[in-house]
Chains A and B, each alone.
Chain A
């Protein structure tokens, strides 16, 4: 008997019990949907983070008061870090800048303050205003759409100048060119020097609503660079190969400046892209296990349900099996028929699961962030579903094939 014939018989049998087949496949569909959805979310998120890191400049690192990966594990470590770690100061900045030999650029920034910004009768609330040194523009690979970032001279002179996000530009300057225009931040006038290219949103959070002003201006107009305006440094290494040496040099200099003994912990934090991707991999490692385990369980449950239904189906169709045998069907023909039926059913379940996951991915892409439905995940999901279908079908199909033709013919249905 040819495969195409067996497939036709299988499809006809599945079609004859549409509702039952659909219910049977629920577990399979849930499993595959979960698997494909999680994989495409993770892949999308990975790409996002990679882009993000590339945007920051893959070869930059920051020195800050706390190490988020070490110090923020639980309330005890937070408390200990708060006692141990001191705020970074501009003197620290000068100290590092003078002594570091492997660092190409060292910039300083202060954490931002949500502020009210006005121009004429346009008012924007809770816009993030940060202070930074002029060189952070290069360190962070800023994509300037229009105008320029502020210069060292402007920064050193504590000029009231601002570099703004695309959103601020369109809202405050709906008609004209923002460059050279004046905006009001917390009651003080600033001149707009440049506008950043549109970044869009991430997790629904707009990325284009910010203002960067010179660090010194920030200190004067907003207050000392501590606590919520905590100072931190960003740095790039001279060469890509020398990156980890540059990080170690910075660590050594900071420890020397703070006179730490060899057995004392760092009382500052250094964050590298590796630490970020490392954290991501740690998080997604466990997410991945869940991504495999949950659909795995659903698939196993789904397979058991399929096996059950196939057993019921064999019992219900004993007469049919007898008829087929009386007309010359061999054991292997009957075996194949039922195996195909459960494999086809499971594969359809897999395909439906992939389809639902695709829709979920579309929605997530619309609302949150880009997702990726990889061909690999689709192939694996459908193949695994089909494989589970075959496994679930083996025993029922074997039972059907082994039926005695006379006994089978004698069955009522």
Chain B
């Protein structure tokens, strides 16, 4: 047992078992299970608790928005979900596996296979073409180049950018760059699409284009988790988790 689980057992005053993630037909339905997650930054003199005791579940096919004021811990949570970071305490089950116990290589594999990231600032490689940017996850996934090309082109077609695939990011508009980033996030057919303020750097019209794209991806069956501090953007999702000061304030199903 890890230190984290001991701490969890103490706070919940009971034995923490693997959550019941599997439905009657044997398919994993609960994609994400967060159990009493803490994230503490040790700033030397003081400790910053970015998250203190967050628990929730996300099922396959959900469209979830995480919202809250700046500094409330949204990005911290997002990075934990995407396995870019590990919790200080608590258990995180992704697709039936306990992420908290994984080593660096396994986390890298999760980031490669299970998660697709979309960032506020796009995070594209400036020197690479749109096509090469989309191919990156496939390169690390060990997909041979012919297949890779095919898949990347397909993903760019889905975001309607295949005619710009040989362009570099600086030759594309903000909305186009974000669509390249979305194509890159989707190219590996991940379990979850994670987007941290995906419209934060875009004007309103372009924001709506991107949100329409998310809507379409949701309808195609993708699981989407969207972080935003904008109410109207959050309102496009089916469920909204509001966090404040590192705690879940509200978890509501809308629509």
User: Residues of A at under 8 Å CB distance from B?
Assistant: 1-2, 5, 12, 16, 319-320, 322-331, 333, 405-406, 409
Q: Is the CB of A328 within 8 A of B123?
A: no
Question: How many whole Å from B57's CB to the nearest CB in chain A?
Answer: 24
Query: What 10 pairs between A and B have smallest CB-CB spacing?
Result: A328-B112, A328-B140, A330-B108, A327-B137, A405-B84, A328-B111, A323-B123, A327-B136, A329-B140, A330-B105
Name 15 A/B residue pairs within 8 A (Cβ), A-sorted. A1-B139, A2-B142, A319-B123, A323-B123, A323-B124, A323-B125, A326-B82, A326-B84, A326-B111, A326-B123, A327-B117, A327-B140, A328-B109, A330-B105, A406-B84
Q: Is the CB of B84 within 8 A of A409?
A: yes
Question: How many whole Å from B70's CB to the nearest CB in chain A?
Answer: 15
**A406 cross-chain contacts in B, Cβ below 8 A:** 79, 84-85
Question: How many whole Å from A296's CB to the nearest CB in chain B?
Answer: 36
B228 on the interface (CB 8 Å rule)?
no
**B84 cross-chain contacts in A, Cβ below 8 A:** 325-326, 405-406, 409
Can you name the residue of chain B whose Cβ is closest to the Cβ of A331?
B104
Question: How many whole Å from B74's CB to the nearest CB in chain A?
Answer: 14
**A326 cross-chain contacts in B, Cβ below 8 A:** 82, 84, 111, 117, 123
**A329 cross-chain contacts in B, Cβ below 8 A:** 108, 140
Interface of A is mostly: helix
Question: How many whole Å from A346's CB to the nearest CB in chain B?
Answer: 22
* Count of interface residues, chain B, beta-carbon cutoff 8 Å: 24
**B184 cross-chain contacts in A, Cβ below 8 A:** 327
Q: Is the CB of A327 within 8 A of B142?
A: no
Question: How many whole Å from A336's CB to the nearest CB in chain B?
Answer: 12
Can you name the residue of chain A whose Cβ is closest to the Cβ of B116?
A327
B127 on the interface (CB 8 Å rule)?
yes
Question: How many whole Å from A132's CB to the nearest CB in chain B?
Answer: 75
Q: Is the CB of A333 within 8 A of B123?
A: no
B113 on the interface (CB 8 Å rule)?
yes
Question: How many whole Å from A16's CB to the nearest CB in chain B?
Answer: 6
Question: How many whole Å from A4's CB to the nearest CB in chain B?
Answer: 9
**A322 cross-chain contacts in B, Cβ below 8 A:** 123
B19 on the interface (CB 8 Å rule)?
no
**B221 cross-chain contacts in A, Cβ below 8 A:** none
B69 on the interface (CB 8 Å rule)?
no
**A331 cross-chain contacts in B, Cβ below 8 A:** 104-105, 108
Question: How many whole Å from B178's CB to the nearest CB in chain A?
Answer: 15
Cα A12 to Cα B109 with chains together (Å): 25
Cα A196 to Cα B119 with chains together (Å): 85
Cα A322 to Cα B82 with chains together (Å): 13
B200 on the interface (CB 8 Å rule)?
no
- Pick the contact of B104: A12, A16, A320, A330 (CB < 8 A): A330
Cα A405 to Cα B119 with chains together (Å): 14
Tell me the residues in window 90-120 of chain B with beta carbons closer than 8 Å to chain A beta carbons.
Answer: 104-105, 108-109, 111-113, 117, 119
Question: How many whole Å from A149's CB to the nearest CB in chain B?
Answer: 74
Cα A326 to Cα B79 with chains together (Å): 10
**B71 cross-chain contacts in A, Cβ below 8 A:** none
Q: Using known A-B contacts A1-B139, A1-B140, determine if residue A327 contacts B85 with beta carbons closer than 8 Å.
A: no
**A333 cross-chain contacts in B, Cβ below 8 A:** 108, 140
**A319 cross-chain contacts in B, Cβ below 8 A:** 123
- Which of B82, B108, B127, B136: most chain A CB closer than 10 A? B108
Can you name the residue of chain A whose Cβ is closest to the Cβ of B124?
A323
Can you name the residue of chain A whose Cβ is closest to the Cβ of B76?
A406
**B112 cross-chain contacts in A, Cβ below 8 A:** 327-328
Cα A329 to Cα B109 with chains together (Å): 8
Cα A328 to Cα B124 with chains together (Å): 14
Cα A405 to Cα B142 with chains together (Å): 20
